[in-house]
Amino acid sequence: MSGKTELVQNVIGRKVPVQVNGNPQIPFKGLGQHLPNGRKAAPPVRSASSYPSDGDKRVTDIRTALEKCGLKSGMTISSHHHFRNGDFIALETLQTAGKIGVKDLLWFPSASFPCQAPVVDLMEQGVVHHIEGSMNGPLGDYCSRGKMKGLGVLRSHGGRWQAIQDGEVHINIAVIAAPTADPFGNCDGSHGPSACGSLGFALADSIYADHVIVVTDNLVPFPCVPWQIQGNNVDYVVEVEQVGDPSQIVSGTTEITRSPERLRIAQFVATLLRDAGIMKNGFSFQAGAGGIALAFVGFLKEMMRQNGVKARFVRGGSTSYLVDLLNEGLTDYILDGQTFDLAGVAGIGSNPRHLATSPFTSYNHHGKGNFASMVDAVVLGATEVDVNFNANVVTHSDGRLLHGIGGWQNCLHSRCTILAIPSFRDRIPVIVDQVTTLTGPGELIDVIATERGIAVNPRRSDLLDALQGSKLPIRPIREIKAEVERFCGGAPRKPDLTQDPVAVIKWVDGTVLDTVFQVKDRAV
């Protein structure tokens, strides 16, 4: 990162830059304190007269499509991550841009994965200037070392929609890899050899980008049904051999944890939902695809059966565990943001009660409400939590940026937010005095569940009251922390960081919540 960046302290005590990549920033003001007053981004008006009347928008290859879109140096190119570590298209797009000879692109993926590590070479060559989007693994590591020419900007799924919608990020060219598409550009993720479930992460891109390219390996005659992405927003369609590696698109082997400690955490959380009266007819919950979350679903399902309780809806990341709930009639609906296994893909493609959602419906904070705040309970993870219930989900204890935010910040708005985490990892305590990177304010985190006990946020006296009489080991967070430190031989060492920002963490309203600082050489 070249040049010095002025930092100010935001309302939560974190130092944040006043400018990011040339754009002035609003420091975090506190929950619900920043009310926007602008208007949404206004994409160019097009005319059907400029598009083929037979609806056939196919061009021969990605290079041709990029050239027809008027690709130039300094543009912003977006991609989605529904193929996760099996994506073939985002990297090829950027490499093709490099061959065309453009420089200083802003890559704006909804998330990046290790399969896209060669983008490091493109950044070294100056083709890509920097990345705004989650950086899982090697790209996050590269960013942590201060090697990116611009600052990384990490946003939640809802925050990404907000940033596009509010005009904070202007996408010049969106490239949407699609498991099924028609020549008009209607496309979907629920069918085809590379089926990935929803394409919701690409929806904002399709609506707001100047130009939209759909790339598919499964072209069908018009109409492609369903059409989660509408061809009326699409400029060009490109057919390729394969859009992704199906074995990597979904893990295929999402499995419940076998660790006795983690199973214990999962059981605590399910029991908490039952004992606090959250698990009742018509309730709702969200749980991801981690080992603890899956085990939690298993325990909860058993309790729902025993108590004759049925959910109104469950939210995915969908897996076979949620699909089973739906098939057994234990929930009316799955509202699915992304699909984590083949059972999820099959469900979203065939069951009308298994619905693809988008970051707009589920998470966008700058809409007239969203689904996240209507969820009764959500079970999430974290890399670190502190004694004030603040949490970190992006950096490790060594300070390296290795994870994205995903929907995590958005989900914090549920009626009961539970972080289900082991109290230590590799003998490093997870509960600290102050988190390395603040990703979620403690005000929104209601419960921290560890294998050593459950800490309920003192702000939630209603929840503590509801849990009177429960046999759960409810303990003050500082007590759990002290016990873990005794066990691990003390508090974790502070990460060795410079004063140079390498990335910022946006809050769901577009303000800057925290800064990720460069790790010192000896630490990497």
Q: Site residues for its own copies, window 371-400 (CB under 8 A)?
A: 371, 373-374
Pick the stretch among 113-121, 139-147, 299-307, 353-361 that binds its own copies (CB under 8 A). 353-361
Closest to its own copies by CB, 42 vs 241, is: 42
Strand pairing report for 417-420 and 424-425: unpaired
Closest to its own copies by CB, 8 vs 225, is: 225
Question: DSSP of 125-139, one letter per residue?
Answer: TTSEEEEBSEE-THH
Three-class secondary structure of residue 471 per DSSP: coil
Q: Which one among 96, 136, 271, 364 touches its own copies, defined by CB under 8 A?
A: 364
How far apart, in whole angstroms, are the C-alpha atoms of residue 152 and residue 135? Answer: 9
Output the smallest distance, CB 15 to its own copies, in A. Answer: 25
Q: Which one among 23, 232, 247, 461 touches its own copies, defined by CB under 8 A?
A: 232
Closest to its own copies by CB, 81 vs 315, is: 315
From residue 314, give the alpha-carbon distance in Å to each of 136, 172, 322, 373.
Answer: 26, 35, 7, 13
Q: Which one among 11, 98, 103, 222 touches its own copies, defined by CB under 8 A?
A: 222
Strand pairing report for 384-386 and 391-392: antiparallel
Instruction: Enter the tokens of residue 44.
Output: 């160019």
Three-class secondary structure of residue 181 per DSSP: strand
Instruction: Enter the tokens of residue 483.
Output: 């016990």
Taking alpha carbons only, the member of 157, 161, 215, 208 closest to residue 185 is: 215
Q: How many CA atoms lie within 13 A of 346 on its CB side?
A: 12
Is position 68 an interface residue for its own copies (rule: CB under 8 A)? Answer: no
Bridge partner residues of 286 (DSSP): 315, 378
Taking alpha carbons only, the member of 295, 301, 233, 240 closest to residue 267 is: 295
Is position 221 an interface residue for its own copies (rule: CB under 8 A)? Answer: yes
Output the smallest distance, CB 230 to its own copies, in A. Answer: 6
Output the smallest distance, CB 371 to its own copies, in A. Answer: 8
Pick the stretch among 19-27, 76-84, 350-358, 422-430 that binds its own copies (CB under 8 A). 350-358
Output the smallest distance, CB 355 to its own copies, in A. Answer: 6
Is position 282 an interface residue for its own copies (rule: CB under 8 A)? Answer: yes
Residues 6+ apart with CB under 8 A from 50: none
Instruction: Enter the tokens of residue 355.
Output: 């619905």
Closest to its own copies by CB, 335 vs 377, is: 335
Q: Which one among 355, 482, 488, 523 touches its own copies, defined by CB under 8 A?
A: 355
291-307 vs 260-275: helix crossing angle, rounded to 10: 40
Closest to its own copies by CB, 99 vs 312, is: 312
Output the smallest distance, CB 57 to its own copies, in A. Answer: 7
Output the smallest distance, CB 196 to its own copies, in A. Answer: 20
From residue 426, give the alpha-carbon distance in Å to each of 123, 290, 396, 435, 493.
Answer: 33, 18, 12, 17, 13
Is position 459 an interface residue for its own copies (rule: CB under 8 A)? Answer: no
How far apart, in whole angstroms, are the C-alpha atoms of residue 469 and residue 477? Answer: 19
Closest to its own copies by CB, 51 vs 88, is: 51
Q: Which one among 24, 32, 260, 469 touches its own copies, defined by CB under 8 A?
A: 32
Report how many residues bind its own copies under the rule CB under 8 A: 65
Residue type, 379: V
Is position 329 an interface residue for its own copies (rule: CB under 8 A)? Answer: no
How far apart, in whole angstroms, are the C-alpha atoms of residue 209 and residue 163? Answer: 12
How far apart, in whole angstroms, are the C-alpha atoms of residue 216 and residue 89? Answer: 9
Closest to its own copies by CB, 92 vs 336, is: 336
Pick the stretch among 47-55, 113-121, 191-199, 320-328 that binds its own copies (CB under 8 A). 47-55
Q: Site residues for its own copies, window 110-169 (CB under 8 A)?
A: 165-166
Q: Which one among 225, 277, 433, 493 touches its own copies, defined by CB under 8 A?
A: 225
Residues 6+ apart with CB under 8 A from 450: 265, 421, 422, 423, 430, 431, 480, 484
From residue 301, give the alpha-carbon distance in Å to each of 155, 292, 325.
Answer: 32, 14, 7
Output the smallest distance, CB 361 to its own copies, in A. Answer: 6
- Rg value, the chain, Cα: 23
Is position 42 an interface residue for its own copies (rule: CB under 8 A)? Answer: yes
Closest to its own copies by CB, 284 vs 320, is: 284
Is position 277 an interface residue for its own copies (rule: CB under 8 A)? Answer: no
Q: Site residues for its own copies, window 176-215 (CB under 8 A)?
A: 184-185, 212
The site string for its own copies over 411-450 (x = CB under 8 A, - otherwise) reads --x-x-----------------------------------
Q: Which one among 41, 215, 456, 480 touches its own copies, defined by CB under 8 A?
A: 41
Residue 100, burial from CB neighbour count under 10 angstroms (0-12, 13-18, 19+)? middle
Q: Which one among 98, 137, 298, 367 touches its own copies, defined by CB under 8 A?
A: 367
Pick the stretch among 142-150, 218-226, 461-469, 486-494 that binds its own copies (CB under 8 A). 218-226
* Distance, CA of 69 to chain centre: 28
Give the interface with its own copies as residue ranges (CB under 8 A): 31-32, 34-55, 57, 165-166, 184-185, 212, 221-223, 225-227, 230-235, 282, 312-313, 333, 335, 352-353, 355, 360-361, 364-371, 373-374, 413, 415, 509
